[in-house]
Structure 1
Amino acid sequence: MKANGISGAAPAAWLATLGLVLVVAVPFAAIVLQAIFPQIGQGSFAAPFSQFYTALGDSALLAMSRNTLILGFSVVLLSALLAVPLGVCRALYKVPFAAFWDVVLLVPFMIPPYIATLGWIMTLQPRGYLQQLAGFNMAPVLFSLFGMTFVMAMNTFPVVYFAVSRTVEAVGSRYADIGRVFGASPARAFWRITLPLSAPGLAGSLMLVFAAAIEEYGTPAALGGRTKFQVLVTGIDLRVSDWPIDLPGAAILSIVLVAMSLITFLLQRWILARRSYETTGGKPQNKDKRPLGALNIPVLIAFAVVAFLATGVPLLAILATASSKTISGGLTLGNLGFNNFLAVFKDSAGALQALGNSIALGVGTALLTGLIGVLAAYTTVKTRYRGRMLLDIMTILPNALPGIVVAVGLILAWNMPGLPFTPYNTGLILLLAYCCLLLPQPVRYTTAAFQQIGDNLEAAARVCGASSFTAFRRIMLPLVFPSLAASMLLVFAVASRELVASVVVAPVGMQTIATFIWRQFEQGSIGLGMAMAFITIVITTLLPLCVIGLMRRVSVIQD
């Protein structure tokens, strides 16, 4: 029996296939079937495609699609305007406190977008913190297309910043200097040499920003309602949450949104694979960075302003609201206290139960996606299993499935007539939703790790009499475990605060962190919601860091 033959890989392949079908294929297939057969929920396949003609000719769908694209491109443009200059300066010049700015600009990843949006609402709304401190009422700006674009860009531009800074740093300035020797101006050398060499990283990050923008629910739902700026995500939510329920319409809108996301993802892969530039010198680039000179103070101010807007304003607004005894009391010392934090730990409105539910779901999601991910990655990279290409496609598909689409797919799939069992209206439905959304993380990490491991180790184990399971458990799994553990920590951090699927498919009476915060805002208990938000940020930031530190200490002791 060959080490990487079909028979040796069969258990891992079948387990991975079963997991991927349950987590990914079932909800996606349910959406497609519901869109094609509008009466499938009643067990009928009559009138196929009949809703397509109505929906695709609906002016509301066209308006939502247009708004979605406008919002996505606007966020991409503003993210690029903010991130590219800062990233280039960070890569090529000696920026004061560079490491500090990197850490500060990493914080927006730790703040869920909907929580950051709520922080901006508290800051810029009428009688908000800005008006209390400076007398400005910026509510008309916030509740507009520009306001949504600005808030979303503050959350997504770090993706571009880190991609540009690392890519341009790897390219270096030597090739631009050669262009300068041949008469090119600094601007021309940058546009014709440095930027093309950095294009793959820049294009890939901008595509990720666009995909994140068109899939985001919290910001358009919180800011777009007042201006009637409805996008596909909010339109889908409206069709599955308001009476009369329109499941075929929600399915068709979901397919349109999936098509946008899929095109973005495929375009990103095409750019990275086909439109890359390579250097042929073979020499390492000179990493010595140049002084900024007269631009030292302006660049420092630019970093400080952007960092304050992206990190400082949301965090300060969250902390100020959480520390306020009453919102009407404003920013006064007498109105500050820890009442809201104490209320969370006293389980007010079910806060501790929501916290426990989210932590349990986060741990469960990390374990399940880690198991499916490592088995799927092993099957696609290290075996000759005939269905490995199909497995690979199923692991990629969640990249193009927004959270609202996954939620709709699960509703449709597990409410089909004749099912002997359904996880709908139980905590299991949330676990399935989180796993579908976050499965690509473990797959991506472990695939890269498996690709770096040669076949000789596993083959040697098989020659010495080890079974395929023993070789996998004793050799392959320990080698990829660091990458797997890192991805599982990321999954835990994201799953424990996920909003969209939680709002749509959470069982009646079951709260998670995200639904608790969202409902406290809807009910007017803003301080309690913000206290939970601050605690969430602390937990989802510190817990993974503590686990990483513990793993490093154990590794040092073992060495």
Structure 2
Amino acid sequence: MFARFRPEVLLFQVTAVLLTLLVAAPLVTLILGSLSGNSHEAFTTDLGFGNFERVLTQSRYLTALLNTLRIAVASTVIATIVGVALAWLVARTDMPGRWLVHLGVVAPFFVSPFIGALAWDLLLSPKIGVLNQFLGLFGIAPFDIYTVGGIIWVMGIYYAPYVYMFVQSALYNLDPTLEEAAFMSGLSPWRTVFKVSLPLVSPAIMSGMLLTFVAAAGQFGVPSLLGTPARINVMTTYIYDLTNTTPSRFNLASAMSVILLLIACAALYAQHRVMRGRSYVTVGGKSTRPKTLKLGAARVPATAFAYLFLILASVLPLLMLAYVSLVPYYSGHISFTNLTLHHYISLIRDNQIARRAFVNTIVVSVGSACAAVALGVIISWIQLRTRAWYRGAVSMALVLPVAVPAIVLGLAIMWTWIYAPVHVYGTTWLLFVGYLTGYLPFAVRSITAVHQQIDKSLEEAVSMVGGGWLTTLRYVTMPLLKPGIAAGWTLLFIVFVRELAISILLYAPGGEVMSVLIYNRWAEGDYNALAAMAMIQVALMAVVIVLIGRVSKSIFREVQAKS
């Protein structure tokens, strides 16, 4: 007898194939392009290592490689120190206003590092920087933001929230009995922190460091904005330049991309080697509240450190951008006599390109986020509820995009879809494909985290009474997955609205999104318009966060009532 046809099995197989092709095809094309001797062809027989030899022997490319490593390592160190310190202060101490510090630390995550760099450009520009002018009143020499140190500073403070979110969650879940045992053994509170608490959450610290390093190495906007005036090049800016020259030199750009990818993979392997063979189990069956450490004399400096970060990472940059967006012309001097909404009105009423970019941003971000969470539900089911032989390939396809720098992935996708028989290249659909390929793992992780908490017996009960997979999904799984879906959708929407590295390579004329338009306005020197667009972008994300937050609360209450 023939086995009964199950539509969900076909759906799972198609999803697995689609996911594998979305990730594998661009990487294969990228590698072939890096080996090609023809700057406009990837699939040729003229393959060799000439492009790599050129990149690794010419001084300008070597300098860019060294700058990339130096900036990525230094900004990762700063982000780790600041992120771990703030996570520990919020999660385990009696520092006042911890909820406010938490909100202030997370806030920079919702602001693109490129937007942050724009603000610090206005604050610390040697000639017109407001903060430099203020410091000059006290005889302090001006700081130059157009340096490697300036790039490291901006990337360090805007990637600190990455480390913070990993470590804070781990510290909250840490079994406090382990720390109590250290106290009983005679360790002081401070030695307990460094000997027990932080080592036990080192997987979270390493995960945050890895994500920060990969993101910093693949960061395009900050080095482009702050490095261009001083001719400081990194690999991402060279990759972008090589694809935008006439004629384009995709082969050299691909070789640099593969080297950047290998650096990211080396960091991933190093993390695996460090963590291999160690046990970090810290959550037991006994539920106890974590012990709050009294800071004592360190309370004032610790609080000052936390609130200083809030001011430097969130308050000061946003105030600077808001001011520049409200003055007729920014000359470097602060004056509140001629504030106007002219730039906002002009963007909304008169600027057709800006209106189109706003609509494109909404459409692509909403569509990509919806598609990602829909695929995330299916992939979560494949991983947790099936024994399919292709689960390993699905898991691998979800790991790779996380380790691939955005600029590298953007180039790989661009070159792949040039050859694709489907007409996607040169359309807004290519942005949709790029977003989905690069950030689908975030949706899957968010949904899987909730799906793991759903008892299988609830889903099995439906099948026992004759219900199919769609019935189970509709009436049991989806209602219980709503919190994870809402969280994943919100995260992806925010990421897509602020995304620059993939967008700058994949957008088509007429298909600009807000991040690309802001970058183009910076290239033209139109600071007032870009500041207004940046504030609109931030306001858009804030509105969505508030709305989804309210929806999530009602969803949470609904799920609690059903459970």
Same fold (TM over 0.5): yes
Matched, 1:292 2:291: no
Aligned partner of 1:275 in structure 2 is 278
Rounded to whole Å, the distance in 1 between the matches of 2:174 and 2:555 is 36
Aligned partner of 1:306 in structure 2 is 309
Amino acid in structure 1 at the alignment position of 2:24: A
Q: Answer whether contact 1:92 1:172 (CA < 8 A) is retained.
A: no
Q: Deviations over 1:342-383 (max 9, x none)?
A: 122214262111111101000110122122222222112211
Aligned partner of 2:41 in structure 1 is 41
CA separation of 1:128/1:289 partners in 2, compared to 1, >3 Å: closer, same or farther? same
Q: Give the 5 Å matches for 1:31-430.
A: 31-39=30-38, 41=41, 44-125=44-125, 126-135=127-136, 140-171=143-174, 175-176=178-179, 178-268=181-271, 274-279=277-282, 283-328=286-331, 330-348=333-351, 350-416=353-419, 420-430=421-431
CA separation of 1:415/1:297 partners in 2, compared to 1, >3 Å: closer, same or farther? same
Rounded to whole Å, the distance in 1 between the matches of 2:5 and 2:408 is 35
Q: Answer whether contact 2:218 2:408 (CA < 8 A) is retained.
A: no
C-alpha displacement at 1:491, in angstroms? 0.9
Give the gaps of 5 or more residues in structure 1.
none
Q: Give the 5 Å matches for 1:2-13.
A: 9-13=8-12
CA separation of 1:17/1:6 partners in 2, compared to 1, >3 Å: closer, same or farther? farther
Rounded to whole Å, the distance in 1 between the matches of 2:428 and 2:345 is 27
Secondary structure class of the residue paired with 1:414: helix
Amino acid in structure 2 at the alignment position of 1:75: S
C-alpha displacement at 1:109, in angstroms? 0.9
Rounded to whole Å, the distance in 1 between the matches of 2:553 and 2:172 is 28
C-alpha displacement at 1:115, in angstroms? 0.5
Q: Give the 5 Å matches for 1:516-531.
A: 516-531=517-532
C-alpha displacement at 1:154, in angstroms? 1.1
Amino acid in structure 2 at the alignment position of 1:190: V
Give the gaps of 5 or more residues in structure 2.
none
The range that moved more, 547-556 or 317-326, is 547-556
CA separation of 1:545/1:266 partners in 2, compared to 1, >3 Å: closer, same or farther? farther
CA separation of 1:172/1:453 partners in 2, compared to 1, >3 Å: closer, same or farther? closer
Rounded to whole Å, the distance in 2 between the matches of 1:6 and 1:397 is 33
Q: Answer whether contact 1:373 1:446 (CA < 8 A) is retained.
A: yes
The range that moved more, 315-324 or 239-248, is 239-248
The range that moved more, 119-128 or 518-527, is 518-527
Count, aligned residues: 556
Rounded to whole Å, the distance in 2 between the matches of 1:56 and 1:89 is 44
TM-score, normalised to structure 2's length?
0.91
The range that moved more, 52-61 or 370-379, is 52-61
Q: Deviations over 1:213-244 (max 9, x none)?
A: 11111111111223333222112111111233
How much is the aligned-residue C-alpha RMSD, in angstroms?
Answer: 2.8
Rounded to whole Å, the distance in 2 between the matches of 1:257 and 1:345 is 39
Matched, 1:440 2:441: yes
Q: Answer whether contact 1:12 1:376 (CA < 8 A) is retained.
A: no
Q: Answer whether contact 2:166 2:205 (CA < 8 A) is retained.
A: yes
Q: Answer whether contact 1:239 1:245 (CA < 8 A) is retained.
A: yes
Matched, 1:541 2:542: yes
Rounded to whole Å, the distance in 1 between the matches of 2:79 and 2:309 is 11
Amino acid in structure 1 at the alignment position of 2:222: T
Rounded to whole Å, the distance in 1 between the matches of 2:168 and 2:107 is 17
Secondary structure class of the residue paired with 2:519: helix
Rounded to whole Å, the distance in 2 between the matches of 1:141 and 1:451 is 50
Rounded to whole Å, the distance in 2 between the matches of 1:219 and 1:317 is 17
CA separation of 1:551/1:448 partners in 2, compared to 1, >3 Å: closer, same or farther? closer
Aligned partner of 1:24 in structure 2 is 23
Rounded to whole Å, the distance in 2 between the matches of 1:85 and 1:113 is 21
C-alpha displacement at 1:181, in angstroms? 4.6
Rounded to whole Å, the distance in 1 between the matches of 2:339 and 2:134 is 16
Percent identity over the alignment is: 25
C-alpha displacement at 1:60, in angstroms? 3.7
Secondary structure class of the residue paired with 2:512: coil
Amino acid in structure 1 at the alignment position of 2:303: L
Rounded to whole Å, the distance in 2 between the matches of 1:299 and 1:57 is 47
Rounded to whole Å, the distance in 2 between the matches of 1:280 and 1:173 is 9
CA separation of 1:38/1:168 partners in 2, compared to 1, >3 Å: closer, same or farther? same
Amino acid in structure 2 at the alignment position of 1:333: F
CA separation of 1:291/1:322 partners in 2, compared to 1, >3 Å: closer, same or farther? same
Q: Answer whether contact 2:36 2:43 (CA < 8 A) is retained.
A: no
Amino acid in structure 2 at the alignment position of 1:44: T
Q: Answer whether contact 1:9 1:383 (CA < 8 A) is retained.
A: no
Rounded to whole Å, the distance in 2 between the matches of 1:439 and 1:27 is 15
Q: Answer whether contact 2:483 2:556 (CA < 8 A) is retained.
A: no
Q: Answer whether contact 2:33 2:43 (CA < 8 A) is retained.
A: no
The range that moved more, 511-520 or 14-23, is 14-23
C-alpha displacement at 1:450, in angstroms? 2.8
Amino acid in structure 2 at the alignment position of 1:254: S
Q: Deviations over 1:262-317 (max 9, x none)?
A: 33334445656643433598644553424332222222221221111111121111
Q: Answer whether contact 1:19 1:372 (CA < 8 A) is retained.
A: no
Q: Answer whether contact 1:414 1:424 (CA < 8 A) is retained.
A: yes
Secondary structure class of the residue paired with 2:256: helix
Q: Answer whether contact 1:86 1:303 (CA < 8 A) is retained.
A: yes
Q: Answer whether contact 1:382 1:450 (CA < 8 A) is retained.
A: no
CA separation of 1:157/1:428 partners in 2, compared to 1, >3 Å: closer, same or farther? same
Aligned partner of 2:478 in structure 1 is 477
Rounded to whole Å, the distance in 2 between the matches of 1:401 and 1:273 is 22
The range that moved more, 238-247 or 180-189, is 180-189
